[in-house]
Structure 1
């Protein structure tokens, strides 16, 4: 059987974030029957550099299509500039009569799309409608894209993000100090400042039994300033973005993962934490409630509700049995999201569109 030639378009692999994590996982774990050529459409750097890289990506896409180097085009798309850039790449693939798979990752496409002028909404709806398949991360996102962009039911496929499942995880028994961990972009959208304020409102006795480590890019200095103003320097540490090895080390040492986001697709950091057997505190936004069930494999709080978040943290400081039960159930829940199952599903999508 001939291998499937895939031209994959998405953010530069030098960037940080969930979309890059998904791309890397596919590229690193894909089997020999799928040959993927990755083309970066968004690098780090200045606006001028970003424009030049996108123009280069367009030329590479044309070259691949003209030289029959692509059986299928797989496009990783978010919102804002990404949506408009990839409306162009989608149409190029469509004009060449090649199957185009759009893979939607945005956490807040609904917010972005609702604010667009009608003409731009029609443009995105029309251009994205030219895709052969439209991959989304959850049933709730499938419903949204069908209802708002007019996509066909058969066109939209739910494929939740995947993780590498660690073969073994720590037991996390008799923790003297409960280690709360936040991984991701530090800012309002992921509730990073809410988390700091929630920690501040934990009574002193429980607070003395806990610590919080936050690792990521974004508004790092603003977070450190807030921590200092609340006299929490002794309890909360803010790191910069960590690499995979450092991330796994943190996940090994942590007791609880916290992600109190306002908007999400299906966050990779959350799935990774669950795969490491961590109890999780998060919010019922995006695809999260399709993976996390309150009081069964995690605790769900309302976005922006600092008191709820603080109470959830207090309960996990106090109750080791609850921490252990939630963490064990979380690991079981994501086992079916293993990368091997994911690649089987992705291969099935590729095969279906080229036959």
Structure 2
């Protein structure tokens, strides 16, 4: 990389998965790529895939390296194992880029990108989405700790900015050695036009019919991977006649035997997911450990009442706890709160209005992209301000 950036800013965005693979981190990376491109940045995405290749996807160059995904299929660990082309591709595109933006320290794509950036002397910024993720396997938990104690430390100590989604993740990366002045709070962005409130009862009825949902009653939506740390099982246990549970995501097998206590609508595209939020009245995510989940942001932008776990990391968002319900992660507490909200349409309206206004003010993608571009330019020219660079 040259010392001076000539022409459009060039960014190598690195993520272990990328759409059409479904998941929160890859959705964030995909949206970042699209909005950075719209702002005039040249973006190349380095990621895994079923086969290797380079494609143009809505003006974004996507470089896929063939990967084996057996760990995800067999052990529910979303960790693609990439082939030997990875490092060579990483070096090739790090040399092209003005800055390398790595999503999470845990993955092979991240390790290769960091090595490539050091070899080509390309500055690095990082987004750390989570702390240690709870998993039922002791071996997986041990591997997580080992990775973050090695590759994680190397990444956050070398990154010129480390973006975090909440105060717990910020403390986590500081403990790994990230200088405090380089750790920056940056919420994920949301498409506030796509994820919008329902217009009226007629539109909600139409969305429910489209998704095969009951026309009557209060619907409580869960969206995400059906994993214990997401709390889908806690929500299932909190089923109650006062409301109907709706699950979007997967795998479907996790809901086997639940009978009438849950409706499964499958893994949905973004447009169908937006329709699901409009079709439902409440969003519930009793998760164990999160950054600030994209699904919570989408639900807030969609103007529905949100119930989620009272996690210490959420303090950085300054949420009105009367309007976003943060509860203890136990079945009875969750059931009682959901029954209260289901029984009070005025309260649901107030919570939804607050959530929508907060999302528009804090989660809009153009603002997110602008902050990223400022950080990229600061990484390229450390010690100078935007004004100094003209």
TM range (shorter): 0.7 to 0.9
Residue 152, structure 1, aligned to residue 158, structure 2: no
Residue 34, structure 1, aligned to residue 58, structure 2: no
Report the Cα distance in structure 1 between the residues aligned to 2:300 and 2:294, rounded to whole angstroms: 10
Q: CA RMSD in A?
A: 2.8
Choose the corresponding residue for 2:10, options 2, 5, 10: 5
Give how far 1:318 is off: 0.8
CA contact (8 A) 2:130 2:169 kept: no
Q: How does 1:13-92 map to 2 (within 5 A)?
A: 13-30=19-36, 31-41=38-48, 45-47=68-70, 50-53=80-83, 55-65=84-94, 68-77=95-104, 79=106, 82=107, 85-92=109-116
Q: Kindly provide the CA deviation profile for residues 247-304 of structure 1, in whole angstroms up to 9, marking residues without a partner as x.
A: 111111111111110111111111000001010110122644444746432211112x
Q: Secondary structure at the match of 1:280?
A: strand
Q: Kindly provide the CA deviation profile for residues 168-201 of structure 1, in whole angstroms up to 9, marking residues without a partner as x.
A: 52256799511111110112111101101101xx
Residue 133, structure 1, aligned to residue 196, structure 2: no
Question: Are the structure 2 counterparts of residues 197 and 58 from structure 1 closer, same or farther at C-alpha, using a change threshold of 3 Å?
Answer: same
CA contact (8 A) 2:134 2:289 kept: no
Q: How does 1:159-174 map to 2 (within 5 A)?
A: 159-166=186-193, 169-170=197-198
Match of 1:217 in 2: 250
Residue 314, structure 1, aligned to residue 343, structure 2: no
Report the Cα distance in structure 1 between the residues aligned to 2:232 and 2:353, rounded to whole angstroms: 25
Give how far 1:45 is off: 4.5
Match of 1:124 in 2: 152
Q: Which runs of 5+ in 2 are unaligned?
A: 1-5, 51-66, 72-78, 205-214, 382-390
Give how far 1:103 is off: 1.3
Give how far 1:62 is off: 1.4
Question: Are the structure 2 counterparts of residues 250 and 315 from structure 1 closer, same or farther at C-alpha, using a change threshold of 3 Å?
Answer: same
Report the Cα distance in structure 2 between the residues aligned to 1:77 and 1:163, rounded to whole angstroms: 19
Choose the corresponding residue for 1:106, options 101, 118, 130: 130
Report the Cα distance in structure 2 between the residues aligned to 1:272 and 1:116, rounded to whole angstroms: 28
Report the Cα distance in structure 2 between the residues aligned to 1:326 and 1:345, rounded to whole angstroms: 28
Q: Secondary structure at the match of 1:325?
A: helix
Report the Cα distance in structure 1 between the residues aligned to 2:184 and 2:321, rounded to whole angstroms: 29
Choose the corresponding residue for 1:238, options 264, 280, 292: 264
Give how far 1:120 is off: 6.9
Report the Cα distance in structure 1 between the residues aligned to 2:144 and 2:216, rounded to whole angstroms: 51
- TM-score with structure 1 length normalisation? 0.84
Give how far 1:333 is off: 1.3
Report the Cα distance in structure 1 between the residues aligned to 2:223 and 2:315, rounded to whole angstroms: 19
Aligned length: 333
- TM-score with structure 2 length normalisation? 0.77
